[in-house]
Every structure is written in structure tokens, then in C-alpha cells.
């Protein structure tokens, strides 16, 4: 396999290929994160400017001030992830084992929402769930729901929106894992007189867990950090940490606090991601992302 | 979204035949459930398309008032919205070109070469994809604030290119993984120079991956809200416009534009699938 007559420059080739993109990412991904950390350790205000003081108190301050929203974001993210797993697993199972020749059609239907803007999809739920809209209006008219009933601006609307928006990120990796399950293993299970339920719980489910883990990762991180759903479907009592970060940057102009909050959020989520990657490897996630 | 989605690996399920034979009863409950979930997934799309035909008279487009084509005829009646859409489209085009040019070589290097530092490049790509979007947006905004760079059109382009590069790279790498390196050696043995071997052997194998990566880029860029909202300054893109309108009422033109983007996306994705099938055949 070794290539003969390697030219002296050949060893450089991969570096030259990687370099331009790497520089862009170094300049506009790595450097910004470092700058954000530095900004979070500055003090001052918007008018007089900020100075580097290594004031770690900002972190304690923002966590103390916004712990409600931080915890809420993680809870909503976890609830949406659990929702995606519960709703999505049976779908992935059905497509992998029951869809027959039409698998690709169903996978395509699953991806169809991605052809519509994320914001428009969320806004569509705003239309469907409006207090007197196409769903609640008729029900109220028939007297099935009290006049004051509403879904928008409740945690259910936000968690529902998150579950809706991230469901395909759960179904796809689970599907990939189920698709890999060797049919002969299932036959072996049946041959050994396992019932269908036993085959599922003791063979199929454990084999599909890497897919579930990948799905949890792909769902939990963006769902916890999302603020579009909370912004469009939520109300004042469902504010998530993303909404706060935006307010701090653009309304309060308190850059150190905003940077500290962003870093806390990113740190917490990346820590979870890397713990996961160490334990289970990144291949499943990257493979799904590549699809 | 890419051609990879519709290709369940044929070799993993070696024997679908026996399994089908062993399955005497179907499970209608699970089938019905899957259809219900799919209906739930597709409901907002139906609402978007339908309300683009709604004969509404106020700005509030919440209840069905009858069918009309008015909004298709007056698609560009709201100058701000049109400008936002034009911004989104041109940003997505520039981003697609730049990110594909920068990301493809990384995917090529990772897919074809073993080199020191390969792991750290992998880690960089993985971090950029795994990091929550809001952190990327906030970090870039911090950089621009500290450097005193005014936010606007070009900072949006810079941000989008940064988050698109990893997606192009891994799409191309996935494509390279299925490419037999001995083919290129064979070309060299047959007297082709390195550039000729690349152009005639590697590049054609690579192209579908590059096309998928580019399409993914375009889709990610045109749809991005979070990172854009941090780095756009006064520049407004289509998602930003829709988000801010969602508080007061989204005019039906938004539904029409959404519908047209949806249909356009389907056509392009379909063409990409057909194109790569023909190449593969």
C-alpha cells in the first residue's frame, strides 16, 4: 500500500490541504472562544469601556442571578431529549425493521422539515396553537375547553416545540444503529425461544443504545441552548438561558456578564459532550452529522 | 438533505428474506403510530403552505379566510422582507463557495492521508459541530466587540463560513472513506502524473461528496437564526425578519417565500440524488 517514490514534498501535502480551513477556524472559532473568556474576566461598563481585571466574581454573580434560567434550560433540554427518545425510538424501529423496500421514502419524509426554515416551522406552531387559532378556536367554540385555556407561553409549548424541532436528530442515529443490527442475531434469539418482547429488551435495545446515546447528544446540546422556541412559543415564565445571553449582550450591554454566561453554558455542555466522546467515541455522531 | 440519507447500507441486513418469512402478523399499531408522528412532523409545513393561500385582510394570519393567490402576486410588496430574503440568498451563495473551497481540502486530507496532528484536526471539527450555536455566535460577537469591528453583512458571512467548514469537511471525508486509494496508484502506474491522477480519478469520485457538502452549507446558512442574530448588527436576514415579525404577526408573504424555498430545496436535492445515482451507475 505504501506509495513508491515519495516526493520530498508529499509529506507536506496534508498540511497544505488542511491549512486554509484550519486558519479560518482558528481565527473565527478558537480565537473568539479565548476572547470571550477574556471578556468575561473584564470589568467596566459600556460607556467608559472594559478593562482586564480577572474578576472571577462575575461568574459567581451570573450563576447566582440566573440560576433559575440555567436550571430551566437544562430541564427543558432534558425533557425535550426524553420526549424525542420516547417519540422517536418506535419510529426509528419501524423504519428499520418494518418499512421494507420503502425505507428511503420514510427517511426522506423525516428530513422534509429541514427544507423549511427553523424559524418558520416554529412560527407555524405559533399559528396552530394560537389562543383562538385553528386548533383551540373550534374546541373552545364547542365548549370543550374553557375560554381562558391556552397552550402558548406555557412550558408545554416550549418543550413541545423543542421536541418537534429536534426529533429527526434522535430518529436518524437510532435508525442507523438499528439498521446495523445483524438479522442473524435476531434469528438466533428466536431460535433460542426468546419471545418477541425478550428479543427486543435483551437484544435489539442494547444493540441500539449507541444510537440512542448519539441522539441524546445531538438533541440535548442544541435544545438546552435554544432560545428560538422560548422566544416564539414561550412567555415571560419560560425564559431560557439563551434569551438571557441575548438580553445581556444587546439590551443591558453588560458584555462580561454575557460572555461569562455563554462560557458557563458552553463549558457545561462541552464537558458533557467530551465525557460522552471519551466513553463512546465520536464516530456515530460525526457519521450522522455527515448524512 | 444529502444523498447519503437515502442509502441504507445494503450489506448490514444480509438476509431480509428469512426475517420477512418468520413474521406472520403485522403490527398495525406501530405502523399507525409512525404515520401519526410523521403527520405531526409535517403539519407545520402544511400550515405554512396553506396559509400562503389565505385570504386574510389583517396582518394577523391565524385563521382561515378563504383561498387567494394575492400573496403570490404581491410577493415582493414588503420591501424590508424582500431585502432580508435577498441578503439571505446572497450570504448563502458566498458562504457556500468559500466554505466548500476551505472545507473540501480538509475532508480530502483526513480521508486520504495519515499525518501527525490528524487527531487534533478531528477534535477541532468535532468541537465546532458539538458546541452549541449560541456559544459560537456569542464568542464571535465578543471578538468583534473587542476588536471594534462593526457588525453587518460581512461578519455574518465570516460566521457562517466558520460553522459550515466542518460540515463540508466531514461530508467529503465520508465520501473519501469509500474511495479505494489503489485506483489512484493504478493511474500513477499507468503513467499519469499526480495532478492528472487526481483530476481523472480522485476528483470524479469526490464530486458527489463536494456537491452534498455545498448543498448542506447553503441550507445551513440560509436557515441560520442563532449565530446570525449575534453577528448581524443592523443587517436583517430572512430568519431574523420572520423572528422579529412573529411577535406582531407574520404576513402571508413569509409563507409564500417559505413555500418557494421549500420547493426549490426539494428540486435541488432531488437533482443531486439523481445526479449522484447516475454517476454511481
pLDDT in tens, A155-177: 999 999 999 999 999 999 999 99
For residue A148, the model assigns a pLDDT of 80
Domain range enclosing B112: 79-250
Q: Give the CATH number for residue B166.
A: 1.10.3720.10
Confidence of residue A280 (pLDDT cuts 50, 70, 90): low
Whether B18 is in a domain gets the answer no
Q: Which residues pair with A123 in a beta bridge?
A: none
Contact B29/A at CB under 8 A: no
Average pLDDT rounded to a whole number, residues A26-41: 93
- Tens-place pLDDT, residues A58-116: 899 998 989 999 999 999 999 999 999 999 999 999 999 888 888 888 988 998 888 88
Q: How many domains does chain B contain in total?
A: 1
For residue B200, the model assigns a pLDDT of 86
If phi over 0 gives left and psi between -120 and 50 gives alpha, with beta otherwise, what is residue B78? beta
Dist CA B185 CA B182 (whole Å) = 5
Whether B34 is in a domain gets the answer no
For residue B1, the model assigns a pLDDT of 39
For B214, half-sphere exposure in the C-beta direction (CA atoms, 13 angstrom radius) is: 16
In B132-191, the residues whose Cβ lies within 8 Å of chain A are 132-136, 138-143, 145-146, 158-159, 161-162, 165-167, 169-171, 173-174, 181-182, 185, 188
Find the residue in B nearest to A230 (Cα): B243
Confidence of residue B199 (pLDDT cuts 50, 70, 90): confident
Counted across chains A and B, CB pairs separated by less than 8 A come out at 307
Dist CA A227 CA A112 (whole Å) = 23
Confidence of residue A182 (pLDDT cuts 50, 70, 90): confident
Q: Look at residue B15 and tell me whether its pLDDT is greater than 70.
A: no
Number of CB atoms found within 10 A of residue A63's CB = 13
For residue B241, the model assigns a pLDDT of 94
Dist CA A243 CA A84 (whole Å) = 23
What does the block give as the cell for B33? 403510530
Mean pLDDT over each residue of chain A, to the nearest integer? 86
Question: In this structure, what are the phi and psi dihedrals at residue A7, rounded to the nearest 5 degrees?
Answer: -75, 155
Question: Which residues in chain A are closer than 8 Å to B266, comparing Cβ atoms?
Answer: 115
Number of CB atoms found within 10 A of residue B46's CB = 12
In A85-124, the residues whose Cβ lies within 8 Å of chain B are 87-88, 90-91, 93-95, 98, 100, 103-104, 106-124
Confidence of residue B20 (pLDDT cuts 50, 70, 90): very low
Contact A242/B at CB under 8 A: yes
Contact A71/B at CB under 8 A: no
Classify residue A131 by its DSSP letter.
T
Question: Rg of chain B's alpha carbons, rounded to an integer?
Answer: 23
Of A228, A266, A227, A221, nearest to A244 by C-alpha is A227
Confidence of residue A244 (pLDDT cuts 50, 70, 90): very high
Distance linking the first and last C-alpha atoms of chain B? 21
Q: Look at residue B247 and tell me whether its pLDDT is greater than 70.
A: yes
Say which residue the cell 454575557 belongs to.
A258
Q: Look at residue A154 and tell me whether its pLDDT is greater than 60.
A: yes
Confidence of residue A22 (pLDDT cuts 50, 70, 90): very high
> CA of A126: how far to CAs of A12, A228, B54, B71, B141, in Å?
54, 12, 16, 20, 29
Whether B127 is in a domain gets the answer yes
**Kind and range of the H or E run holding A50:** strand A49-52
Average pLDDT rounded to a whole number, residues A255-266: 92
Average pLDDT rounded to a whole number, residues B195-212: 85
For residue B59, the model assigns a pLDDT of 66
Confidence of residue A210 (pLDDT cuts 50, 70, 90): confident
3-state DSSP of chain B: CCHHHHCCCCCCCCCHHHHHHCCCCCCHHHHHHHHHHHHHHHHHHHHHHHHCCECCCCCCCCCCCCECCHHHHCCCCCHHHHHHHHHHHHHHHHHHHHHHHHHHHHHHHHHHCCCCCHHHHHHHHHHHHHCCHHHHHHHHHHHHHHHCCCCCHHHHHHHHHHHHHHHHHHHHHHHHHCCCHHHHHHHHHCCCCHHHHHHHHHHHHHHHHHHHHHHHHHHHHHHCCHHHHHHCCCCCCHHHHHHHHCCCCCCHHHHHHHHHHHHHHHHHHHHHHHHHHHHHC
For residue B24, the model assigns a pLDDT of 45
Backbone CA torsion sign across A160, A166, A172, A175: negative
Q: Look at residue B5 and tell me whether its pLDDT is greater than 60.
A: no
Residues of chain A above pLDDT 70, percent: 93
Dist CA A83 CA A170 (whole Å) = 10
| Interface contact flag, A103 B8, Cβ < 8 Å | yes
For residue A2, the model assigns a pLDDT of 47
Lowest mean pLDDT among A180-184, B16-20, B238-242: B16-20
For B49, half-sphere exposure in the C-beta direction (CA atoms, 13 angstrom radius) is: 12
For residue B125, the model assigns a pLDDT of 92
Say which residue the cell 406472520 belongs to.
B24
Residue A59 near residue A260 (C-beta atoms within 8 A):
yes
For residue B54, the model assigns a pLDDT of 87
- Tens-place pLDDT, residues B27-80: 688 999 999 999 999 999 998 999 889 888 766 677 788 888 888 988 888 899
- The CATH homologous superfamily to which domain A56-289 belongs is MetI-like (1.10.3720.10)
Contact A244/B at CB under 8 A: no
What is the domain partition of chain A in residue ranges? 1-40, 56-289
Mean pLDDT over each residue of chain B, to the nearest integer? 85
Whether B14 is in a domain gets the answer no
For residue A6, the model assigns a pLDDT of 55
Average pLDDT rounded to a whole number, residues A265-271: 84
For residue A5, the model assigns a pLDDT of 53
Nearest to A24 among B102, B122, B143 (CB): B102
pTM, 2 dp: 0.84
Question: Which residues in chain B are closer than 8 Å to A120, comparing Cβ atoms?
Answer: 44, 48, 242, 254-255, 258
- Tens-place pLDDT, residues B133-142: 899 999 999 9
Contact B130/A at CB under 8 A: yes
Contact A232/B at CB under 8 A: yes
Average pLDDT rounded to a whole number, residues B74-101: 94
Amino acid at each position: 500500500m505504501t506509495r513508491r517514490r515519495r516526493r520530498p514534498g508529499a509529506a507536506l501535502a496534508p498540511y497544505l490541504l488542511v491549512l486554509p480551513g484550519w486558519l479560518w477556524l482558528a481565527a473565527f472559532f478558537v480565537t473568539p472562544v479565548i476572547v470571550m473568556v477574556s471578556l468575561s474576566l473584564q470589568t467596566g461598563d459600556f460607556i467608559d469601556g472594559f478593562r482586564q481585571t480577572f474578576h472571577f466574581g462575575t461568574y459567581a454573580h451570573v450563576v447566582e442571578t440566573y440560576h433559575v434560567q440555567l436550571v430551566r434550560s437544562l430541564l427543558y433540554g432534558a425533557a425535550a431529549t426524553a420526549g424525542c427518545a420516547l417519540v422517536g425510538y418506535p419510529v426509528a424501529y419501524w423504519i428499520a425493521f418494518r418499512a421494507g423496500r420503502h425505507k428511503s421514502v420514510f427517511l426522506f419524509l423525516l428530513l422534509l422539515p429541514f427544507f423549511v426554515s427553523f424559524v418558520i416551522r416554529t412560527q407555524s406552531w405559533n399559528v396552530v396553537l394560537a389562543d383562538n387559532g385553528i386548533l383551540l378556536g373550534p374546541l373552545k367554540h364547542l365548549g370543550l375547553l374553557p375560554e381562558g385555556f391556552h397552550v402558548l407561553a406555557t412550558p408545554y409549548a416550549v418543550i413541545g416545540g423543542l421536541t418537534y424541532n429536534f426529533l429527526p436528530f434522535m430518529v436518524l442515529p437510532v435508525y442507523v444503529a438499528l439498521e446495523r443490527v445483524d438479522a442473524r442475531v435476531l434469528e438466533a434469539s428466536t431460535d433460542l425461544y426468546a419471545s418477541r418482547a425478550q428479543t427486543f429488551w435483551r437484544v435489539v435495545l442494547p444493540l441500539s443504545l449507541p444510537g440512542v446515546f448519539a441522539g441524546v447528544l445531538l438533541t440535548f446540546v442544541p435544545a438546552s441552548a435554544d432560545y428560538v422556541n422560548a422566544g416564539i412559543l414561550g412567555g415571560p415564565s419560560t425564559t431560557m438561558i439563551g434569551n438571557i445571553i441575548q438580553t445581556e449582550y444587546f439590551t443591558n450591554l453588560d458584555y462580561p456578564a454575557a460572555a461569562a454566561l455563554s462560557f458557563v453554558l458552553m463549558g457545561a455542555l462541552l464537558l458533557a459532550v467530551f465525557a460522552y466522546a471519551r466513553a463512546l467515541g465520536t464516530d456515530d455522531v460525526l457519521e450522522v452529522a455527515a448524512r | 438533505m444529502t444523498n447519503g440519507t437515502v442509502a441504507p447500507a445494503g450489506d448490514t441486513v444480509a438476509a431480509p428474506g428469512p426475517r420477512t418469512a418468520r413474521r406472520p402478523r403485522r403490527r398495525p399499531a406501530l405502523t399507525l403510530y409512525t404515520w401519526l408522528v410523521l403527520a405531526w412532523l409535517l403539519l407545520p409545513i402544511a400550515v405554512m403552505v396553506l396559509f400562503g393561500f389565505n385570504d386574510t385582510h389583517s396582518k394577523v394570519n391565524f385563521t382561515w379566510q378563504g383561498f387567494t393567490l394575492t400573496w403570490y402576486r404581491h410577493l415582493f410588496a414588503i420591501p424590508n422582507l424582500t431585502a432580508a430574503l435577498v441578503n439571505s440568498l446572497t450570504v448563502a451563495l458566498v458562504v457556500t463557495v468559500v466554505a466548500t473551497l476551505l472545507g473540501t481540502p480538509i475532508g480530502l486530507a483526513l480521508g486520504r492521508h495519515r499525518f501527525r496532528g490528524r487527531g487534533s484536526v478531528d477534535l477541532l471539527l468535532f468541537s465546532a459541530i458539538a458546541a452549541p450555536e449560541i456559544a459560537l455566535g456569542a464568542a464571535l460577537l465578543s471578538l468583534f466587540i473587542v476588536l471594534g469591528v462593526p457588525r453587518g453583512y460581512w461578519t455574518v458571512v465570516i460566521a457562517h463560513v466558520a460553522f459550515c467548514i466542518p460540515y463540508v469537511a466531514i461530508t467529503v471525508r465520508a465520501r473519501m472513506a469509500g474511495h479505494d486509494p489503489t485506483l489512484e496508484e493504478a493511474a500513477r502506474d499507468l503513467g499519469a502524473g499526480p495532478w492528472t491522477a487526481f483530476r481523472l480519478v480522485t476528483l470524479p469520485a469526490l464530486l458527489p461528496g463536494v456537491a452534498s457538502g455545498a448543498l448542506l452549507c447553503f441550507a445551513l446558512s440560509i436557515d441560520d437564526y442563532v449565530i446570525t442574530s449575534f453577528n448581524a448588527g443592523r443587517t436583517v436576514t430572512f430568519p431574523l425578519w420572520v423572528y422579529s415579525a412573529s411577535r406582531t404577526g407574520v404576513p402571508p408573504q413569509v409563507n409564500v417565500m417559505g413555500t418557494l424555498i421549500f420547493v426549490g430545496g426539494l428540486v435541488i436535492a432531488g437533482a443531486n440524488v439523481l445526479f449522484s445515482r447516475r454517476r454511481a451507475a
